[in-house]
Structure 1
Amino acid sequence: MEASAVLKGQPIYRRARAVGINPNYWYPIFWADQVRSGEVVSAQIWDTSLAVYRDAQGIVHTVEDACPHKGVELHRGEVHGNNLVCPYHGWEFDSQGSCVGIPYFPKEQKLPCAQARTYPTQEAYGIIWVFPGAVELAEQHPLPEVPQYGQPGWFMVRIPGHFQAHFSICNENTMDVFHGFLHKDLQGWYDPKLLNLKQDDHGVAADYQVSYDGFLSKLLGLGKKGSDSATRTVSIRYRYPHYATALESVSSLYLMRLPVGPQETKSFSLLFLKLPLPQWLLSGPLARVLEKVILNTVFIKFLHQDVEMMESEQRNYSIDPKRNYVEVNPAIIALQRVIVGQYENLEKLPKSQQETSKESPIPPSQEVSNGMLV
């Protein structure tokens, strides 16, 4: 549906701060190179604890981080070939979660029907993804598309993010181009205007006009000859639960969101740039060095400023969840509708497809009507 792009004050949609996730999507948990062959590590998706391991063949598997024997955390165990071994009694589980060995059982003795829950897992774009919801829905929800990945002419920068804040706060930061004021000391963007806005049950599409000046304009090659300033359109596409943004074919950002818990969120971002630099510098052994330089000298500084604001917002919300606020950006209101709607849609699914989503308490008085807190 079309949404109004007119800025006007509205009560903030507080329910978005209290909902859980819709688990029936693919979520990123690690960069692929963070999990080595024969290694087992722990991860969380919205308070669901996972043990992730890469077997002897290099394939990544994910199981619930609780041994079905005594409940011990399986991420403390070992990888034996293609199987995961519990650290307590040495019970061994295959990639399907079935118990296939107990070291103190005679070979002829039948094994108990002990089954560890497993989760669909795959690697793409240098990221490990897990589907924490109903297994039968995994194939119905494809991964986000990243067409620039591995394509010539694009320089990729990986940007990790870790925030002590609810995922809705983090998502609003990404949608909110009006916070360029925060980055004024870094010569960020200015004079933003919301041009277009659309929303449906699955996402929000917003187009902003922004201006750039100084070194950022030079880095991205935005300015015209003889000028360091430029005005461009930033397109932001939120498709629950991830983002894709583009700056008029100059850069593209794919932000993959991991809601760890009610007050903790991570992100795995892939930034693609069209840099005015020679190709020999953008590829080969110097490319990774250039990636680190760009990340640490430019984008991490922007990210740190955003982190301070998001975590400040979370702290005040935690102190007083009933405090009233006023939001004037209709793109944020639209985003909040999607986040709440996706969570509430779980109630329409069979119970077996709802079980992995744990919600934060929502005060009964916080009723919602037409996207507004009443």
Structure 2
Amino acid sequence: MTLPKANPLRKYRDVAPEGDVPTTRTTGIDPNFWYPFARSRDLKPGRTLAVRFAGTELVLVRPRKGPPYALEDRCAHRQVPLSMGVVKDEQLLCGYHCWAYDRTGACVNIPYLDRKRTLPNGVRAYACREAHGFVFAFPGDQRLADVTPIPELPFHGDSRYKTRVLDRDIACHYSFMHENLMDMNHQFLHRSLMGRIRARLLDVREGEDWLEADYSFSRTEGKQSLGERLIIGSGNTDKYADLMTIRTGYPYQTLRYWTDGKREEPPALDLWNAYVPTDRAQRRNHTYGLIMVQKPPVPGVIHLLWPVITLFTEGIFGQDRVIVEAEQRAYEAQGADLNNEVFPVIQSLKALLARRGVPIEPEDRAAAG
């Protein structure tokens, strides 16, 4: 294990002045990455969709022909949302006075303005692409969009897998989401769905902007549920024979599971998550994800079993949602991060998220500006 030894009673407090304390909960996510803002199917041809990133309002636009694009969701004229407007050909017409904008954000027509007059400035445009069934946008420095890759998902679209889309609003800071998935010691939370399971940390690897942990598991009480069996198989009867690798590759997170611990084989389960903060204080996030389950050898049977798999995963994610939202409420009630974190993996993860993030602008300053 590569992690340095840490004081097991070390406290992470956002209000503490110590220089070695990562202020995770008051750190914003770095905007200089591609983030999913909608499922492709939810952005209909000839329609708009209002979305948010850390308090910034964007509008996604899908012309009837051509790829989608993203603009600042305000008209340069009266500041009303452009998402209330009308898509005509490749232009977006403001629903108030019919100012027209192209995909670059330029104002290209004002129907009642003398043609000899210069058109006013338009609105900000954001790089926009479609991939993996999502509409991605780049909310940060637009000069970095072309040199920043959209995440690669090697098993998405692979005929050996069936995919379920995760798409939900969650009332917590994105760091709670990273910690919840990375820390497999929380299996007690899922005892009603999976029985009692003990996690064993096998190895940890980390770099400047990533951290990954390997786990193996042993069931100490109860039986494997049907939903779990359908996702990962019946498993090896030996304790700690399986392998799970969880990785935060900033700002995304993945989980892969091999039933028999054979990393060289395609995983039985492959999960990818992106957490998109929506409010300015980043106390809420929209989680988009893909859970890819390897199909059993019998053709077509996965489709018959999918409702059971969906019910099981909804139960797991539902329990996780309840607990991370409770963590957020505790943080807000106490006014600080008073967690006594004893697990070195999470200590390092919190430091990574604080190190790679950006300051959150205070709401009073943002309002004044």
User: Normalised by the shorter chain, which TM-score bucket?
Assistant: 0.7 to 0.9
Q: Which has the higher contact order (CA 8 A, sep 6+)?
A: 1
Identical amino acids, percent of aligned pairs: 27
Counterpart CA distance in 2 for 1:131 and 1:323 is 30
Aligned residue in 2 for 1:245: 255
> In structure 1, what residue type is equivalent to 2:71?
V
Aligned residue in 2 for 1:313: 327
**Bigger shift: 211-220 or 181-190?**
211-220
Match status 1:72 vs 2:80: yes
Aligned residue in 1 for 2:104: 96
Counterpart CA distance in 2 for 1:13 and 1:222 is 42
Match of 2:352 among 338, 360, 368: 338
* TM-superposition CA deviations, 1:34-61 (whole Å, max 9, x none): 1000111110011111011101215211
- Shift of the 277–67 alpha-carbon distance from structure 1 to 2, 3 Å rule, reads same
Q: SS at 1:244's partner residue?
A: strand
Q: SS at 2:361's partner residue?
A: coil
Aligned residue in 1 for 2:184: 177
**Bigger shift: 121-130 or 227-236?**
227-236
Counterpart CA distance in 2 for 1:192 and 1:123 is 37
- Shift of the 96–302 alpha-carbon distance from structure 1 to 2, 3 Å rule, reads same
Residues 5 and 195 of structure 1 are in contact (CA less than 8 Å); yes or no, is this contact kept in structure 2?
A: no
Aligned residue in 2 for 1:201: 208
- Shift of the 224–316 alpha-carbon distance from structure 1 to 2, 3 Å rule, reads closer
Residue 94 of structure 1 and its aligned partner are, at CA, apart by 0.5
Q: SS at 2:354's partner residue?
A: helix
* TM-superposition CA deviations, 1:279-305 (whole Å, max 9, x none): 2344xxxx4x7545522x111111111
Residues 182 and 305 of structure 1 are in contact (CA less than 8 Å); yes or no, is this contact kept in structure 2?
A: yes
Match status 1:270 vs 2:290: yes
Aligned residue in 1 for 2:122: 115
Aligned residue in 2 for 1:11: 11
Q: SS at 2:103's partner residue?
A: coil
- RMSD over aligned CA atoms reads 2.4
- Shift of the 156–323 alpha-carbon distance from structure 1 to 2, 3 Å rule, reads closer
* TM-superposition CA deviations, 1:263-322 (whole Å, max 9, x none): 11111111111233522344xxxx4x7545522x11111111111111111111111123
Aligned residue in 2 for 1:142: 149
Q: Count residues with an aligned counterpart.
A: 342
Aligned residue in 2 for 1:256: 274
* TM-superposition CA deviations, 1:198-226 (whole Å, max 9, x none): 2222111111112354124522353358x
Q: SS at 1:267's partner residue?
A: strand
Q: SS at 1:234's partner residue?
A: strand
Residue 162 of structure 1 and its aligned partner are, at CA, apart by 1.9
Residue 328 of structure 1 and its aligned partner are, at CA, apart by 1.5
- Shift of the 7–299 alpha-carbon distance from structure 1 to 2, 3 Å rule, reads farther
Q: SS at 2:357's partner residue?
A: helix
Aligned residue in 1 for 2:2: 2
> In structure 2, what residue type is equivalent to 1:280?
G
Aligned residue in 1 for 2:19: none
Aligned residue in 1 for 2:316: 302
Q: SS at 1:23's partner residue?
A: coil
Counterpart CA distance in 1 for 2:61 and 2:361 is 27
**Bigger shift: 8-17 or 216-225?**
216-225
Q: How does 1:218-233 map to 2 (within 5 A)?
A: 218-223=229-234, 231-233=241-243
Residues 47 and 358 of structure 1 are in contact (CA less than 8 Å); yes or no, is this contact kept in structure 2?
A: no
Q: SS at 1:185's partner residue?
A: helix
Q: SS at 2:105's partner residue?
A: coil
Q: SS at 1:170's partner residue?
A: helix
Residues 48 and 61 of structure 2 are in contact (CA less than 8 Å); yes or no, is this contact kept in structure 1?
A: yes
- Shift of the 4–196 alpha-carbon distance from structure 1 to 2, 3 Å rule, reads farther
Counterpart CA distance in 2 for 1:189 and 1:31 is 35
> In structure 2, what residue type is equivalent to 1:219?
L
Q: How does 1:20-169 map to 2 (within 5 A)?
A: 20-106=28-114, 108-169=115-176
> In structure 2, what residue type is equivalent to 1:126?
G
